[in-house]
Structure 1
């Protein structure tokens, strides 16, 4: 069975963007008449996901998730703990994404799954700066700069084997450093740090080294479409996405 998890937890104090939109939760913001959560679920169904869990608190998001025939999963103290709870229930393989991935497409999900090698425990989708610029010029994303260019995360992870659980146990500390590549690389030891400092460390190599450091095989899967890295974090993101979908869905 193909399983997926949508992270839709509530931020402490609520999400400012949801407040601006007059919604109790960001997952309930609508684009072209459909909530963000519904858009993500539709893409996952299109990718062949038979079992979809939504990690959220009780309330309107949980009610919507059930109406979409998804399983409501309890949340943890943060995204990493929520993912661990779902992984314990669903097992491997498990595709993980977020409720604010408004442009998610089934082909991006399949691309990650098919692009994760058979010898890998975990596949991570990332997009390069130039691909994002082509897809949505001027989009402001968080980039990690490596020898092979600048990369941005796509909020798409494929936990292919049960061994990928090791990555969840270190996710919280890595997530805290996601905007600081020096701190990420520092975890890998002096040799890797030197390679990064000299501009010789590619992102794929860095991800693989991090995986081996925690005892698993992790592979970078480059997103073919830069839009895969565009989620709804800021009002400008929402404005850009609405403009884009207004052109493509009419």
Structure 2
């Protein structure tokens, strides 16, 4: 199994979800008797990840990471910069996820890593809209609309080889456009942009083309469980994952 990085840095200012939960940092929101960060670290260890690093600067988050057997790393200016730093320090393969992936399960991690094809430099886990609506009815997600359906990210990435560094550099350049996919696709040139605008570009083609642009083989892995796309970006997400965690605890 690869090493893993959990992104738990703060974007600065008051986080509305942390404020809603009455804690200092989103990663420290309690859920089912554990903080969200502790749940994520626990799922990674259960999946067989040996070395887990947490990118964070808040002292309480750093302490929480240490308490649960993770190595704190200083968070950089943004998620992509933190990932670049971790890749340089921990090497590839490196699994990347986030502290607000509150429902993360070990079997999702194992399944994702096992399905990444040999020869891929970068892999990203995404879920179809239909799968998300079945698993998490009422949960509002941001969707990428492509010819092969509407997709949402699952906050799980595998930087499988050292060449993935080039993909992280691309991520840094497009991070501000993550909710505006037409701008990202537009970086590929007018041909692919037109295919996207006319609904003729598949997600797999877009990801592969982005990878080729920087010299890496990039692949999409479809999530087997739509619940993997649920993270905690807003108070309604927290309400949902709390209810789901209670149901899971009841068996």
Change (3 A) 1:215 1:27: same
Name the SS of the counterpart of 2:163 in structure 1: helix
2:135 is matched with which residue? 135
Moved over 6 A (4+): none
The aligned residue for residue 242 of structure 1 is: 242
Residue aligning to 1:182: 182
1:166: which partner in 2?
166
Pair 1:233 & 2:233 matched: yes
How far the C-alpha of 1:216 sits from its partner, in A, is: 0.4
Residues of 2 paired with 1:13 and 1:174: CA distance? 23
1:196 equivalenced with 2:208 (yes/no): no
Question: Which ranges of structure 1 fall in alignment gaps of 5 or more residues?
Answer: none
Query: Is 1:23 aligned to 2:23, yes or no?
Result: yes
CA–CA distance in structure 1, aligned partners of residues 216 and 159 of structure 2: 11
Do the aligned residues in 1 keep the contact of 2:9 with 2:58 (CA within 8 Å)? Answer: no
Deviation at 1:58, TM superposition (A): 4.3
Partner of 2:95, secondary structure, is strand
Q: Secondary structure at the match of 1:162?
A: coil
Deviation track 1:140-178 (CA, whole Å, cap 9, x = no partner) reads: 111010000100011100000000000111212322112
RMSD (CA atoms) = 1.1
Separation of aligned partners in 1, 2:26 and 2:199: 38
Q: Report how far residue 100 of structure 1 moved.
A: 0.3
Deviation, 1:205, is 0.9
Count of residues in Structure 1 that have an aligned counterpart in Structure 2? 250
Match status 1:60 vs 2:21 = no
Question: When the two structures are superposed, what TM-score results if normalisation uses the length of structure 2?
Answer: 0.97
Is 1:76–2:76 an aligned residue pair?
A: yes
Q: Which moved more, 1:127-136 or 1:53-62?
A: 53-62
Correspondences of 1:142-161 after superposition (within 5 Å): 142-161=142-161
Deviations 1:180-215 (A, max 9, x none): 121111111122112212221110111001000111
- Give the structure-1-normalised TM-score: 0.97
5+ residue gaps, structure 2 = none
